[in-house]
């Protein structure tokens, strides 16, 4: 069944990319190395992640919004999974299992506006001071994870927290090679720019130039609205904002031992205002520090 994606319909969608912080701080689940994908094969924790996404789908349906449910595979790539003991065979199996779990939930919802996205992240920590990958190297690298689920039923790929244009372009081409639409989500600093100073709109244009516009659309994630609201221009390719609850910088968040949950009501109002100001935005959601309280406020604000 071909479901319409956010860039193909006037429907707006909710997405929840805060599974990690929600699991650790709100649900008492330990994440080794901040990786959530091992939970998929643990019978004790699998029901918890299912409940997360059920709650999200109910929230979206209650506000007459579509819903994108991400697989818990942001770190399920070669470099970031190896320290946890996952080889190539085991990685492929867990990526497919994660997809199957979310596909079952999509069928349970029985709505044509519930989408399953393979969640991928950069090959290394977004703030590691390493040389950027070339486009071709990134294409080959991300082809492994994306290709492993090409026939598993995902509707799209959500590529979160990318901050290098070249790696983002390689991921786009890898998804195109596998015939799966992809949305690239850049992570920005408190000034609204990528870590290397590239402006958000320029990063989008550069990826499009390197890939002949092959991405379905772009997003920004893992930043508070205050960090990027002043750099939004209504870029026609920027269709999603997936926001942090906290106004802290990434360095401050990395060194924090407590959860900064911000103000759910204020955050919901800010997101709703941005959607009103920039109608091209059709995907909204919560990232680090958010939970279902924040998602409900966002959904209510957008619906209103």
108-129 pLDDT tens trace? 999 999 999 999 999 987 666 6
Over residues 18-34, the mean pLDDT reads 80
**Mean pLDDT value across the chain:** 92
Over residues 141-153, the mean pLDDT reads 97
Going 34 to 81 to 192 to 181, the CA torsion angle's sign is negative
Choose the weakest-confidence range: 208-222, 249-263, 268-282: 249-263
Ordered DSSP codes for 216-256: SEEEEEEE-HHHHGGG----TTEEEEEE-S--S-HHHHHT-
How deeply is 175 buried, as exposed, middle or buried, from its count of CB atoms within 10 A (0-12, 13-18, 19+)?
A: buried
Nearest in space to 10 (alpha carbons), one of 56, 61, 66, 58: 66
Q: 47 vs 203, which has greater pLDDT?
A: 203
Q: Are 84 and 30 in contact (CB under 8 A)?
A: no
Confidence of residue 256 (pLDDT cuts 50, 70, 90): low
Going 141 to 143 to 147 to 149, the CA torsion angle's sign is positive
Give the per-residue pLDDT at 252: 64
Token pair in block for residue 241? 């904002």
Token pair in block for residue 270? 């800010």
What is this structure's pTM? 0.95
Each domain of the chain, given as residue ranges in start order, spans 9-303
9-303 to CATH, choices 3.20.20.330, 3.30.1360.180, 3.40.50.1980, 3.40.50.1000: 3.20.20.330
Measured at the CA of 5, the angle between CA 147 and CA 267, to 5 degrees, comes to 105
Nearest in space to 248 (alpha carbons), one of 261, 266, 265, 264: 261
Of all residues in the chain, what percent carry a pLDDT higher than 90? 79
Token pair in block for residue 138? 């990134």
């Amino acid at each position: 069944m071909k479901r319409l994606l956010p860039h193909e319909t006037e429907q707006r969608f909710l997405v929840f990319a805060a599974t990690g912080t929600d699991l650790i701080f709100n649900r008492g689940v330990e994440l080794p190395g901040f990786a959530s994908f091992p939970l998929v094969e643990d019978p004790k924790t699998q029901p918890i992640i299912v409940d997360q996404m059920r709650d999200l789908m109910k929230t979206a349906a209650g506000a007459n919004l579509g819903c994108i449910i991400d697989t818990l595979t942001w770190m399920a790539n070669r470099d970031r999974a190896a320290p946890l003991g996952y080889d190539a065979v085991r990685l492929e199996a867990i990526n497919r299992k994660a997809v199957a779990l979310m596909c079952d939930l999509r069928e349970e919802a029985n709505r044509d506006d519930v989408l399953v996205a393979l969640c991928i992240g950069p090959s290394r920590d977004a703030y590691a001071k390493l040389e950027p990958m070339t486009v071709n190297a990134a294409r080959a690298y991300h082809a492994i994870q994306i290709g492993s689920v090409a026939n598993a039923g995902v509707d799209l790929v959500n590529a979160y927290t990318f901050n290098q244009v070249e790696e983002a372009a390689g991921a786009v081409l890898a998804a195109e090679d596998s015939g799966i639409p992809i949305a690239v989500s850049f992570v920005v600093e408190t000034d609204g720019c990528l870590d290397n100073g590239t402006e958000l709109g320029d990063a989008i244009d550069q990826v499009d130039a390197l890939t002949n516009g092959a991405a379905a659309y772009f997003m920004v994630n893992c930043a508070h609205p205050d960090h990027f609201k002043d750099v939004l221009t209504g870029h026609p390719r920027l269709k999603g904002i997936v926001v942090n609850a906290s106004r802290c910088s990434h360095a401050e968040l990395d060194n924090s031992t407590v959860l900064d949950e911000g103000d759910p009501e204020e955050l919901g109002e800010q997101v709703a205002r941005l959607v009103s100001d920039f109608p091209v935005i059709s995907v909204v959601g919560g990232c680090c520090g958010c939970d279902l309280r924040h998602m409900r406020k966002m959904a209510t604000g957008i619906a209103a």
